[in-house]
Structure 1
Amino acid sequence: MANPSIRAALAAKDFIVAPGIFDMISARIADRMGFKALYATGYGTVASHLGVPDAGIATYSDMVGRMSRFAQGSTTPVIADADTGYGGLLNVRHTVMGYEAGGVTAIQLEDQEVPKKCGHTPGRRVIPARDMALKIEVAAEARKSDDFLIIARTDARTALGLDEAIARGQLYRKAGADIVFIESPESEEEMKRIGGEIDAPLLANNVDGGGRTPILSAEKLASFGYSIAIYPALGFLAMTAALETAYAHLRAHGDSAGLPDGALADFGAMNTLMGFPEVWEFDRRWARPDAAE
């Protein structure tokens, strides 16, 4: 069931910062930190699950189970990437129904051609704006609860310019989107203009490590009219750097001794994170006195 807290935060103008999650370890870590929402990144999920680029290769079947597991394994509401809805209008309806049934709170749909490409990468092409508006209308009709939010993303800025991207954002809002996501604006001035011309809750995509959009503070984004900032790459980029350091040390030295302090999590803390104490308590409660005989 969708969590009403995101809709409530938007109504109260309570800015939302959402870290990117991509597997259940990242989800469990982020879930315990008090964020108002978690962002289930398509790039990171496809990379961790399939080991391939986020380039339209993953299917609805690949993704719905993963996104549902994130939602069901977290107490924090989950915003989930759903690419283009995995096809036409009927596919969009099926995707919305599946993600909502899985416990996701907000679904992100984009207006790229199939196969889609990851945002902030070159070569993205968009479908006609009216075709995307129909997808948003179908998505809004397909949901069972108004607390399940529709995020409409346009990738038109890079290929067609900011004017077209803003016009699409306005159209998608009228079609029923709860949140508008203009992908890849290239300056603070562009972001400020987006906030001034689109009357809707806005989402900013802060891509660490070399994205096209400047990474701004929550305070500045809120002053521009934004409501949500996602950090989709933060988790998997941090994990990649940490693993490369640890594995390189092992390869060079033949053991893990000598890694710097903080390079590894405590094994006991990891057991707690994954829920082993509950398993051990269950075993103690149900142990039979004659088990050792």
Structure 2
Amino acid sequence: MSSWMAPDGDRTTRLRELIEGPDLILAPGAYDALSARLVEETGFSVVYMTGFGTAAGRIGRPDVGLLTLTEMADQARRLVDAVRIPVIADGDTGYGNPLNVIRTVKEYERAGVSGIQLEDQVIPKKCGHMSGKAVISVSEMVAKLQAAVDARTQNTVIIARTDALAVEGLNAAIERAARYYEAGADMLFIEAPEHTDQIRRLAFSFPEVPLVFNWAEGGKTPPLSRKEIVEMGFKLVIFPLSTLFSATAAMRQVLQVIYRSGTPAVVMDQLVRFDEFLRFIGLPEIHELEQRYRS
């Protein structure tokens, strides 16, 4: 059977096995189906649907709460359909109150995601590494997480993110994270620590809890090595910007060449070959299916 049509298996179970396993999970960000396929082709076991990248790729705007639940769920579905590995999707604030969170979980599960990240920012939210953030009360976020846990039907991994460090300080962020774990979150994500000692303290505050580290190029958090991340006990590292920034740089370069010289001829050796690209996006499988179902 063509791999395009073969059963996907239980990707949520696979994600939970990875979380319970001994190894650090690396999850590069994907901002569209093509970048998700590249993540999978490279050999990564998980792909992260980045909200920052989705906003940039879908509407060409910054991550400031402009996208709706339906747009984000549709994007998640596209990524899930493009790959076989588990997809963790940015669920922003859940797009409202606990009732909205229930719908968010249901829509994301219908899309096929294996994990959903929810944060405690005030709506409209902002990228975690931007200034001017505000957070809702602890009790509001606890209610949202309880609603998410109650609403899931497929054992979906719930990741609770707090942006309180920039607003209320490290102690408050750690206290919030502890409350969120008590509310039923499977993983904790304390966003945008600015110093290594902050990262170390928040990591050591939760020695038995799976933690998320956000490796954001140019963001507020210092760029730790893989060895440092492992030693501090983090379980999942997301790279929400790497594919987006590298693609932007490459496209900008070739466009400048075309603008200056009129054709991309001088950079042809730097581009993916036409036939290679068609193989990558699955044209041989399409041909196989055409032959199988030819009338």
Same fold (TM over 0.5): yes
Separation in structure 2 between the aligned mates of residue 188 and residue 48 of structure 1, nearest angstrom: 31
Q: CA deviation at 1:29?
A: 1.0
Q: Is the 8 A contact 1:2 1:145 kept in 2?
A: no
Shift in CA distance, 279/168, structure 1 to aligned 2, threshold 3 Å: same
Amino acid at match of 1:215: P
Q: Is the 2:193–2:220 Cα contact (8 Å) retained in structure 1?
A: yes
Question: Could you tell me which residue of structure 1 aligns to residue 82 of structure 2?
Answer: 73
Q: 1:255 aligns with which of 247, 256, 263?
A: 263
Cα displacement (A) at 1:247:
0.2
Aligned to 1:40: 49
Q: TM-score, normalised by structure 2?
A: 0.93
Query: Matches of residues 133-212 of structure 1 in structure 2 within 5 Å?
Result: 133-146=142-155, 148-198=156-206, 199-208=208-217, 210-212=218-220
Q: Tell me which residue corresponds to 1:236.
A: 244
Identity among equivalent positions (%) equals 39
Q: Give 1:287 deviation, angstroms.
A: 5.5
Does residue 276 in structure 1 map to residue 287 in structure 2? Answer: no
Whether the 8 Å CA contact 2:11–2:85 is kept in 1: the answer is no
Q: Which residue identity is paired with 2:63?
A: D
Shift of 1:3: 2.1
Q: Give aligned pairs, total.
A: 285
Q: Is the Cα contact below 8 Å between 1:79 and 1:108 reproduced in 2?
A: yes
Task: Tell me the residue number matched to 1:97.
Answer: 106
Give the superposition deviation at 1:248: 0.2
Matched with 1:291 is none
Q: 1:257 offset after TM fit, Å?
A: 1.1
State whether residues 218 and 229 of structure 1, in contact with CA within 8 Å, keep that contact through their aligned partners in structure 2.
no
Letter in 1 for 2:223: I
Structure 1: gaps of 5 or more residues: 289-293
- Aligned residue type for 2:253: T
In structure 2, the partner of 1:222 is 230
Q: Is the 2:32–2:78 contact (alpha carbons within 8 Å) kept by the matching residues of 1?
A: no
**Matches of 1:196 and 1:215, distance apart in 2:** 18
Q: How much does 1:227 deviate?
A: 0.3
- Equivalent residues of 1:41, 1:80 under 8 A apart: yes
Q: CA deviation at 1:47?
A: 1.3
Given candidates 87, 94, 98, the residue that maps to 1:85 is 94
Unpaired segments ≥5 residues, structure 2 = 1-9
RMSD, aligned α-carbons: 1.4
The separation in 2 between residues aligned to 1:150 and 1:2, in whole angstroms, is: 14
Letter in 1 for 2:104: T
The 8 Å contact of residues 2 and 100 in structure 1, kept in 2 or not, is answered as no
Answer yes or no: is 1:114 the counterpart of 2:123.
yes
TM-aligned CA deviation for residue 284 of structure 1: 4.2
Secondary structure of 1:32's aligned partner? helix
Q: 2:89 is paired with a residue of what secondary structure?
A: strand
Aligned mates of 1:287, 1:79 — CA distance in 2: 37
Aligned to 1:15: 24
2:5 corresponds in structure 1 to: none
Residue type of the partner of 1:214? P
Find the aligned partners of 2:233 and 2:84 in 1 and give their Cα distance. Answer: 28
1:2–1:94: structure 2 CA closer, same or farther, 3 Å change rule? farther
Deviations 1:126-178 (A, max 9, x none): 000111011111101111132x1000000011121111111111110000000
Q: Which residue of 2 aligns with 1:132?
A: 141
- The alignment partner of 2:130 has SS state of coil
Aligned residue for 2:269, secondary structure, equals coil
- CA distances 1:36-67 after superposition (whole Å, capped 9, x unpaired): 21110001112111222211110001110110
Does the CA contact (< 8 Å) of 1:17 and 1:218 recur in 2? no
TM-score by length of 1: 0.94
What CA deviation, in whole Å up to 9, does each residue of 1:102-133 have, x standing for no partner? 11000000000000011100101000011101
SS at match of 1:261: helix
Distance 1:11 1:259 in 2: 45
Q: 2:6 matched to 1:31?
A: no
